[in-house]
Amino acid sequence: MACNYWDSTQRRHWQFTKDELAAMRQKLEDEEASLVQMFPLPQLRHLNIHFNQQINRLGKRLGVRQQPMATAQVYLKRFYTRVEIRRTNPYLMMATAIYLASKTEECPQHIRLVTGEARSLWPHEISAIDAGKIGECEFFLISEMNSQLIIHQPYRSLTQFQAEFNLSQEEVALSWSVINDHYMTDLPLLYPPHIIAITAILLALVLRPTNGPGGPTGTGANSANLAAAAAQLAQVQAQARAAITGGSGPGTPGGLQGMQFSSAAGEKSPDARFNKVTRFAGWLAASSIDIEAMVDCTQELISFYECHEQFNDKHTRESILRFVKARGL
């Protein structure tokens, strides 16, 4: 087991570029071309949203903490980079992922309890489920992941940064929500956990939470605000490059100290919040954090929130059930 991310199997074997991820998925679809043609599915983001919701529902029934549920979602993402989804029953795989993740995160659930709760939650999807099937799928899941089960999550990084940036409980809660949402995207397979955590903190600092529908999953960060944050990050990136080359633009302080955060500055009591954002910007300037990766994370979240508005759970479930029942899975 690697004690840190940099020595982990997660970094060495399960961190991909977007092109690599797309190529792996395309290869799976090409190998199962007849199934793909016979059973069309909604876009991957909609599938991820559905899987996230179902894992959370089962996890709450079992009393599982957030971290094992997050680990289960990463297991499922890894698994489906190796196995075409139409070859499996996703509901059975979700139950298995939670069972395995609970053991990995040292809060094990009895296999019969997982089986019973899954059968109760998904009576039409996996009516014939039993403990033996969960056991078989567990070995299948472990095998496809090459027994590389340790997942480094952004939650730990967020906790470490809380004191560093003097984050309020509201800012921590909003950052935590953004991290929860990122599991419905490909970000866990694309970027290190500390990049995700720092991006979540940035969004919590520069975005003003709304009480309305805003963010579709409760973060309060709508796509318009996220777009503004992405623009701010692009400015950070440009200024960081200028600072490295020693060429700040006229009238702009070197590095990140001169950047303006309109969302923060617009608060009723801007001083404390603005100072916190300025301190965060200064920390970014002094660090070796990949700001380009943060920009990409923010843009991915923008796309996700926009996509969430078109999500139709009934259609997604019916599309999955079509191939599950037709193939007797």
Domain boundaries, the chain: 14-151+312-326, 154-308
Are 72 and 97 a contacting pair, CB within 8 Å?
yes
Instruction: List own/partner pairs for 173-178 with CB under 8 A and 24 or more apart.
Output: 174/200, 174/203, 174/204, 174/207, 174/209, 174/219, 174/220, 174/221, 175/200, 175/201, 175/203, 175/204, 176/200, 177/215, 177/217, 177/218, 177/219, 177/220, 178/203, 178/204, 178/219, 178/221, 178/301
What mean pLDDT comes out for the span 73-102? 97
Share of the chain above pLDDT 70, in %: 79
pLDDT beyond 80 at 96:
yes
Q: Rounded to the nearest 5 degrees, what angle is found at the Cα of 225, between the Cα atoms of 222 and 226?
A: 85
Q: Would you give the distance in Å from CA 66 to the centre of its chain? A: 13
What is the pLDDT at residue 305? 86
Assigned fold of 14-151+312-326? Cyclin A; domain 1 (1.10.472)
Distance set, CA 77 to CA 24, 26, 281 (Å): 12, 15, 33
Q: Would you give the distance in Å from CA 38 to the centre of its chain? A: 30
Beta strands in the chain (DSSP E): none
Q: Hey, how many other C-beta atoms are within 10 angstroms of the C-beta on 252?
A: 14
What is the pLDDT at residue 258? 37
**How many angstroms separate the CA atoms of 201 and 20, rounded?**
28
What is the pLDDT at residue 137? 96
What tens digit of pLDDT does each residue of 187-240 get? Answer: 999 999 999 999 999 888 877 554 433 444 444 445 555 565 566 666 655 655
**DSSP string for 258-305:** T---HHHHTSSSHHHHHHHHHHHHHHHHHS---HHHHHHHHHHHHHHH
pLDDT beyond 70 at 1:
no
What is the pLDDT at residue 152? 95
What one-letter code names the amino acid at 191? Y
In the chain, the N- to C-terminal Cα span, in Å, equals: 34
What is the pLDDT at residue 270? 56
Q: Rounded to the nearest 5 degrees, what angle is found at the Cα of 206, between the Cα atoms of 203 and 209?
A: 75
Of 235 and 76, which is predicted with more confidence?
76
What is the pLDDT at residue 92? 96
What is the pLDDT at residue 265? 39
Instruction: Single out the residue of 200, 223, 201 nearest to residue 213, CA to CA.
Output: 223
Instruction: Single out the residue of 191, 148, 186 nearest to residue 22, CA to CA.
Output: 186
For the ranges 43-57, 124-138, 187-201, 234-248, the lowest mean pLDDT is seen at: 234-248
What tens digit of pLDDT does each residue of 233-277 get? Answer: 666 556 555 544 444 433 333 333 333 444 443 444 556 667 788
